[in-house]
């Protein structure tokens, strides 16, 4: 029997849609529908995503994105209910003045018991605001790297400038936007092995980069 992994997709107004959409195009193949469609013969894991937001009102993510209808609100997740994976994307709404307490409280409650914490782009800034990167190595969007580094200078976070993604224990943080796809491929490989990950990459025709293959650190003068 495959193991079901409950995935919390942690959304907010002005989220960058590709930050979570890209990784989910890969992880989404860990679903019974993939077997039914002939993309896979058997699964070790099944991903069960839940899309969370501040409330259940449909909202717009990226500037040109469609309206998104959340499954649940953060405050509706009761004490004792546990997700296995937290996925925190980035976007303009990751600015501290826009982040609402409900997402931070949710992350703080969930993080101790979750198996994996994933962020893409400035989603790592939200993790930092929740205190979940203290004592860890992490990366973020290189366009905002210096801003975020400055904003979190009193916290014990080792921000890694040249990295497509960084893994520290159960915490995976990706650089900007499309780096989330690279990280998701590595995470998928970690879960199910290279053979299955390669098959999924082939279906979506994803060309992925290695962990240290980061041209944008130099582009933004970080190295």
Which CA distances in Å does 170 have to 77, 86, 116, 137? 22, 11, 5, 11
Number of domains observed in the structure of the chain: 1
Provide the whole-model pTM. Answer: 0.96
Answer yes or no: are the C-beta atoms of 204 and 25 closer than 8 Å: yes
Q: What is the DSSP string of 113-144?
A: G-SEEEE-TTHHHHHHHTTTTTT-EE---GGG
Among 35-44, 121-130, 169-178, the range scoring the smallest mean pLDDT is 35-44
In whole angstroms, how large is the CA radius of gyration of the chain? 17
What would the mean pLDDT of 93-117 be, rounded to a whole number?
98
Closest by CA to 44, choosing from 188, 201, 171, 206, is: 188
CATH number, domain containing residue 50: 3.40.50.880
160: domain range?
3-219
Residue 62 pLDDT class (50, 70, 90 cuts): confident
Both tokens assigned to 218? 């130099």
Closest by CA to 111, choosing from 91, 94, 126, 96, is: 126
């Amino acid at each position: 029997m495959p193991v079901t992994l409950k995935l919390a997709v942690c959304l907010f107004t002005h989220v960058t849609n590709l930050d979570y959409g890209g990784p989910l195009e890969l992880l989404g193949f860990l679903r019974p529908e993939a077997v039914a469609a002939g993309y896979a013969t058997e699964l070790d894991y099944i991903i069960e995503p839940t899309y969370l937001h501040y409330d259940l009102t449909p909202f717009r993510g990226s500037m040109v994105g469609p309206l998104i209808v959340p499954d649940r609100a953060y405050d509706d997740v009761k004490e004792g209910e546990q997700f296995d994976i937290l996925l925190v994307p980035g976007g303009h709404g990751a600015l501290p003045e826009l982040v609402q307490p409900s997402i931070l409280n949710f992350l703080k409650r969930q993080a101790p018991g979750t198996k994996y914490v994933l962020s893409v782009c400035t989603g790592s800034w939200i993790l930092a605001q929740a205190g979940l990167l203290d004592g860890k190595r992490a990366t973020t969007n290189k366009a905002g790297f210096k801003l975020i580094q400055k904003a979190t200078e009193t916290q014990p976070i080792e921000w890694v400038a040249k990295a497509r993604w960084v893994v520290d224990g159960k915490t995976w943080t990706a650089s900007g936007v499309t780096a989330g796809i690279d990280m998701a491929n590595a995470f998928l490989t970690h879960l199910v092995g290279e053979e299955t990950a390669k098959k999924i990459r082939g279906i979506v025709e994803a060309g992925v980069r290695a962990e240290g293959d980061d041209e944008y650190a130099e582009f933004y003068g970080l190295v």
